[in-house]
Chains A and B, each alone.
Chain A
Amino acid sequence: MGILSASNGQRASTARDFLSDFSTVLVVIALFLFFGFTSQRFFLVDNIFNIMKQMSIVGVAAIGMTMVVLIGGIDLSIGSVALLSSGITGTLIANYGWNTWAAIGVGLLAACAVGVVNGFFVEKLMISPVIVTLGTLIAIRGLGQKVLWINNSWVEVKDPVFDYVAIEKVWFLPLIAALMFGLYIVAAILLKQTRLGRYIYAIGGNQRAAQLSGLPVVRIKMLVYILCSFTAGIAGLLTASRTGVVNPTLGQGLEFDVVTAVVLGGASLAGGIGRVEKTLLGTAILVMVLNYLTLRGVPGVWQTAVTGFLVLAAVILDRLVRRRVA
């Protein structure tokens, strides 16, 4: 059978990959054109820039989330981690006059520390990631708000670096979006070209087999939770840079947008399947839809509902494509 079934399966899987990859790209292009031709303001340069800037925050956090989802986990605490990192960094700069880079470093370290806690509880104590990260979601938001109390519960970030990131352009791209694209390139290389990336897919695909192949499974999974908190921390700093303030609600609900983007990008919540490039496309779909709804004057509550339906639609579409080709 070997030859027969091998060629058959090979062809089918290539076709499936192609179709499902291509379908996401197609959806992005179709939405882009449709939105552009049904709204006068959608194609305006300022609006396109706005979309890119909005994408950057969800997009950066979605990098880490994609990796966590790839190992079959989930991290709900990212919104709180964004608050913690930006709160600490902002406070250190505004209240203590720290050097910007040192403050950023400490903020991101604090974010990573949350990743260590998440990873420890999930992998060493074997508690479900939903429960653990729901816990840290609440606890870390509290901690982040406590940090902000030092300065009347919110911090204004008046810092040249933060302003520069918010305003500057590289070539034709907003710097903040360029940063996001840069991080995506790094992440894509990490997942596709490094040992760590291969191990992540292996663990997500079959954790037991990965263990029996001698991979340090627990250590790798903890590292992935840390990476996820790290990108969430960066997302927090980018938010602070865009808005110029850190207030107690910064990052609230970020996890919903980010998980939506990852699912729209076709990653399997069961682990092992997903690609960071497609998460970027998922982010683009989500942000374009929300932007369009805002342009059309649709109230925020309805936007939330639409986001929810998007996730369901993505799952159904994915299943249809898979079935047709398989």
Chain B
Amino acid sequence: MVTEPTTVKSSANAAYPTQDRPILEMIGITKRFPGVLALDQVNFSVSRGEIHSLIGQNGAGKSTLMNILSGVYTPDQGEIIVDGQPVAMTHPREALRLGIGTVYQELSLVPKLSVADNIYLGREAERGFIINEHSVASRAREVIERLGVRDIDVGTLVGELSLAQQQLVEIAKVLSYNPRILVLDEPTAPLVQEDTDRLFWLLDGLKSQGIAIVFISHRFKEIIQHCDRGTILRNGKLIKTIDLHGITEEALAESMIGQQLESFYRHNSHTEGSQAGIALEVEGLSVGRKVRDVSFQLQRGEIVGITGLLGAGQNEVARALFGVQNEVSGVIRRAGRPVFIGSPQDAIKQGICLLTENRKREGLFLDMSVKENMTLPSLKSFSRLGAFVNNGKEGQWARRFIDRMNIVVRSPSSRVRTLSGGNQQKAILARWLMRDLEVLIFIEPTRGIDVGAKAEIYSDLDTLAAEGKSILVVSTELPEVLGISDRILVMYNGRLSRVIERAEASEEILLAAIQGDTGGSGETPHGR
């Protein structure tokens, strides 16, 4: 394990004096794609020993700028100056050679190779074709240690590491090229707080070695806490570059969106008059060894949040209710009657739907249109004779939901691949709203989407609850759980450890609860 992680940044700041001349300057960068100006005269610079955050909504131009920086795209106009020398990069290899290393969101590791082999993949041979395993391992060990990591053995297969550890290996891999500039694209998105802290502790270390770090994230809190400067992009234009010391989250969010953030989370409670009735009741639900004896009820028109540390069993509960989990036992009742849910088809028949946290793998049909993505489960009701798709009716409904959900798309027949993450998520949400089911279950509904889309999804949930739908939201983001739930179920180690009413919930209580604090009661609570 690493030595005590610290989140104090001033100390690391002082360790390496920022020099006058930035290590990297990008001047007047313009990038045009067919029909769109992705970047318009953008200036960007990073200095040695700073963590510089690129801030903007999905599609503001962050990825384009990052891809230009890492040599994936060539800019149409503009100059890139590295260490005082104008450079032209036409390939990622050249960027690496110039000392620009990029850690992409999608990790590029081979699960069945060892950590060492992954780090030096393609560069193993020192003489001819013979791989000297000892030398590869010892060089890999050096890189890992330089990162300050002690709990990863270079001989372990990457597939056996946790996601957070894999990410460290990916960073080590990039570090092995000795970059002067390190670009990280949303590295914290899949991480829990503990791993995020550790990551920043490592980044502070690299920073003190004089490496310039470009950091992309959607989480304002960590940006403010750990980054030195930020460059804000909106619609492909540079808004401003600011010092992040002492700025507030709201100010940051507002300058990113370009308008006032009003009620970000909803504030009205839905179940004050408790005449609502029980929509879903779970009794003694167990899933293998991951979930044990969980019981709770979900009222009509209620939003219940389930939270816990990653792997505490909350995802399995949600998946069990949709029939996509093995080894499920316990009783599930819908409107008072016990039901069997062995497959998504069963669940849908019972009026239950699920949005999982894995949008690309479990939600989207990337090569199909937005319309087709939205109507798939409802296709039967758009069909003539039960078999032929009624295109007119289908298009009408698609358009209706595109308007209602405010999905930004040129036409219903655009490919869903071309939408931003937030709009993709809204399209999947629309898929189930169109089906008009009673119980909606979401796992991490706002993961990896920008703040504007987040706010819209929160207000959609609010409206749905007001219409009498019952909503279960599984989330590891505590502010989100706090902001939207009428009631919060906390899971710890596979058990339902605590139920917290909205009125008495706070971030501190939740934080303690997810670490196993039962609030004094000591026994397994039942969710109402």
Write out, one digit per residue, whether chain B residues 375-398 have a CB within 8 A of any chain A CB (1) or not (0).
Answer: 011011001001111010000000
Closest to A17 in B: B415
Closest to A197 in B: B389
CB proximity of B472 to chain A, nearest CB, Å: 16
**A193 within 8 Å of B (CB atoms):** yes
Chain B residues closer than 8 Å to A201, beta-carbon distance: 365, 367-368, 372
Q: CB within 8 A of B420: which of A1, A15, A202? A: A1
**A213 within 8 Å of B (CB atoms):** yes
CB proximity of B300 to chain A, nearest CB, Å: 22
Chain B residues closer than 8 Å to A193, beta-carbon distance: 388-389, 391
Q: CB within 8 A of A214: which of B366, B377, B419? A: B377
When the two chains form their complex, are residues A11 and B344 in contact, meaning their CB atoms are under 8 A apart?
no
When the two chains form their complex, are residues B345 and A216 in contact, meaning their CB atoms are under 8 A apart?
yes
Which stretch from A125-133, A134-142, A204-212 is at the chain B interface?
A204-212
When the two chains form their complex, are residues B387 and A195 in contact, meaning their CB atoms are under 8 A apart?
yes
When the two chains form their complex, are residues A10 and B414 in contact, meaning their CB atoms are under 8 A apart?
yes
- Known contacts being A194-B389, A195-B383, A216-B345, is A6 close to B410, with CB within 8 Å? yes
**B57 within 8 Å of A (CB atoms):** yes
Question: Which of A6, A10, A216 has the largest count of B CB atoms less than 10 A from its CB?
Answer: A6
Alpha-carbon separation in the docked complex, A272 to B367 (Å): 8
When the two chains form their complex, are residues A209 and B59 in contact, meaning their CB atoms are under 8 A apart?
no
Alpha-carbon separation in the docked complex, A205 to B422 (Å): 21
When the two chains form their complex, are residues B376 and A9 in contact, meaning their CB atoms are under 8 A apart?
no
Chain A residues closer than 8 Å to B278, beta-carbon distance: none
When the two chains form their complex, are residues A1 and B364 in contact, meaning their CB atoms are under 8 A apart?
no
**A13 within 8 Å of B (CB atoms):** yes
Alpha-carbon separation in the docked complex, A237 to B347 (Å): 45
Within 8 A of B (CB), among A1-28: 1-13, 15
Interface residue tally for chain B (C-beta within 8 Å): 53
Alpha-carbon separation in the docked complex, A4 to B347 (Å): 38
When the two chains form their complex, are residues A2 and B363 in contact, meaning their CB atoms are under 8 A apart?
no
Write out, one digit per residue, whether chain B residues 337-369 have a CB within 8 A of any chain A CB (1) or not (0).
Answer: 000000011011000001010000111111110
**A316 within 8 Å of B (CB atoms):** no
**B35 within 8 Å of A (CB atoms):** yes
**B58 within 8 Å of A (CB atoms):** yes
Chain A residues closer than 8 Å to B388, beta-carbon distance: 193-195
When the two chains form their complex, are residues B372 and A6 in contact, meaning their CB atoms are under 8 A apart?
no
Q: CB within 8 A of B35: which of A7, A195, A273? A: A7
**A215 within 8 Å of B (CB atoms):** yes
Chain A residues closer than 8 Å to B344, beta-carbon distance: 211-214
Chain A residues closer than 8 Å to B354, beta-carbon distance: 212
CB proximity of A72 to chain B, nearest CB, Å: 12
When the two chains form their complex, are residues B423 and A2 in contact, meaning their CB atoms are under 8 A apart?
yes
When the two chains form their complex, are residues B409 and A212 in contact, meaning their CB atoms are under 8 A apart?
no
Closest to B435 in A: A214
Alpha-carbon separation in the docked complex, A210 to B419 (Å): 20
**A48 within 8 Å of B (CB atoms):** no
When the two chains form their complex, are residues A5 and B35 in contact, meaning their CB atoms are under 8 A apart?
no
**A320 within 8 Å of B (CB atoms):** no
Alpha-carbon separation in the docked complex, A8 to B377 (Å): 28
Alpha-carbon separation in the docked complex, A196 to B380 (Å): 10
Chain A residues closer than 8 Å to B391, beta-carbon distance: 193
When the two chains form their complex, are residues A9 and B417 in contact, meaning their CB atoms are under 8 A apart?
yes
Chain A residues closer than 8 Å to B422, beta-carbon distance: 2
When the two chains form their complex, are residues B389 and A195 in contact, meaning their CB atoms are under 8 A apart?
yes
Question: Which of B60, B367, B389, B411 has the largest count of A CB atoms less than 10 A from its CB?
Answer: B367
**B34 within 8 Å of A (CB atoms):** yes
Within 8 A of A (CB), among B386-441: 386-389, 391, 408-411, 414-415, 417-420, 422-423, 431
Interface residues on A, range: 35 or more
Chain B residues closer than 8 Å to A216, beta-carbon distance: 345
Alpha-carbon separation in the docked complex, A199 to B35 (Å): 32
**A146 within 8 Å of B (CB atoms):** no
**B324 within 8 Å of A (CB atoms):** yes
**B227 within 8 Å of A (CB atoms):** no
**A198 within 8 Å of B (CB atoms):** yes
Chain B residues closer than 8 Å to A211, beta-carbon distance: 324, 344
Alpha-carbon separation in the docked complex, A189 to B367 (Å): 20
When the two chains form their complex, are residues B420 and A2 in contact, meaning their CB atoms are under 8 A apart?
yes
Alpha-carbon separation in the docked complex, A7 to B345 (Å): 35
Q: CB within 8 A of B419: which of A6, A12, A208? A: A6
When the two chains form their complex, are residues A10 and B376 in contact, meaning their CB atoms are under 8 A apart?
no
Q: Which secondary structure dominates where chain A touches chain B?
A: helix
Q: CB within 8 A of B408: which of A2, A209, A210, A213? A: A2
Within 8 A of A (CB), among B300-357: 322, 324, 344-345, 347-348, 354, 356
Closest to B358 in A: A208
Chain B residues closer than 8 Å to A1, beta-carbon distance: 57-61, 235, 420
Alpha-carbon separation in the docked complex, A6 to B61 (Å): 13
Q: CB within 8 A of B418: which of A6, A206, A210? A: A6
When the two chains form their complex, are residues B36 and A5 in contact, meaning their CB atoms are under 8 A apart?
yes
When the two chains form their complex, are residues B365 and A202 in contact, meaning their CB atoms are under 8 A apart?
yes
- Known contacts being A194-B389, A209-B365, A272-B367, is A10 close to B410, with CB within 8 Å? yes
Chain A residues closer than 8 Å to B345, beta-carbon distance: 214, 216
- Known contacts being A6-B409, A10-B414, A193-B389, is A212 close to B366, with CB within 8 Å? no
**B129 within 8 Å of A (CB atoms):** no
Alpha-carbon separation in the docked complex, A64 to B473 (Å): 43
Closest to A195 in B: B379
Chain A residues closer than 8 Å to B361, beta-carbon distance: 206, 208-209
CB proximity of A124 to chain B, nearest CB, Å: 14
Write out, one digit per residue, whether chain A residues 291-319 have a CB within 8 A of any chain B CB (1) or not (0).
Answer: 00000000000000000000000000000
- Known contacts being A10-B418, A193-B388, A215-B376, is A4 close to B236, with CB within 8 Å? yes
Chain B residues closer than 8 Å to A215, beta-carbon distance: 376-377
When the two chains form their complex, are residues B368 and A5 in contact, meaning their CB atoms are under 8 A apart?
no
When the two chains form their complex, are residues A212 and B362 in contact, meaning their CB atoms are under 8 A apart?
yes
Chain B residues closer than 8 Å to A11, beta-carbon distance: 34-35
Alpha-carbon separation in the docked complex, A280 to B175 (Å): 51
CB proximity of B249 to chain A, nearest CB, Å: 21
Closest to B376 in A: A213
When the two chains form their complex, are residues A2 and B59 in contact, meaning their CB atoms are under 8 A apart?
yes
Q: CB within 8 A of B372: which of A8, A13, A194, A198? A: A198
CB proximity of A203 to chain B, nearest CB, Å: 9
When the two chains form their complex, are residues A198 and B377 in contact, meaning their CB atoms are under 8 A apart?
no
Within 8 A of B (CB), among A70-103: none
Chain B residues closer than 8 Å to A198, beta-carbon distance: 372, 376, 379, 389
- Known contacts being A4-B236, A6-B408, is A212 close to B363, with CB within 8 Å? yes
When the two chains form their complex, are residues A8 and B368 in contact, meaning their CB atoms are under 8 A apart?
no
CB proximity of B380 to chain A, nearest CB, Å: 7
- Known contacts being A194-B387, A195-B387, is A9 close to B418, with CB within 8 Å? yes
Alpha-carbon separation in the docked complex, A201 to B367 (Å): 9
Chain B residues closer than 8 Å to A7, beta-carbon distance: 35-36, 410
- Interface contacts beyond A5-B36, A216-B345: sample of 11 additional A-B pairs, CB < 8 Å, sorted by A: A2-B420, A6-B414, A8-B38, A10-B414, A10-B418, A11-B34, A12-B418, A193-B388, A202-B365, A212-B362, A273-B367
A sample of 29 inter-chain contacts (CB < 8 A) reads A1-B57, A1-B60, A1-B61, A2-B408, A2-B423, A4-B38, A5-B38, A5-B420, A6-B408, A6-B410, A6-B418, A7-B36, A8-B34, A9-B415, A10-B410, A10-B411, A10-B414, A12-B418, A13-B418, A193-B389, A194-B389, A195-B389, A196-B387, A206-B361, A208-B361, A208-B362, A212-B356, A213-B431, A272-B367
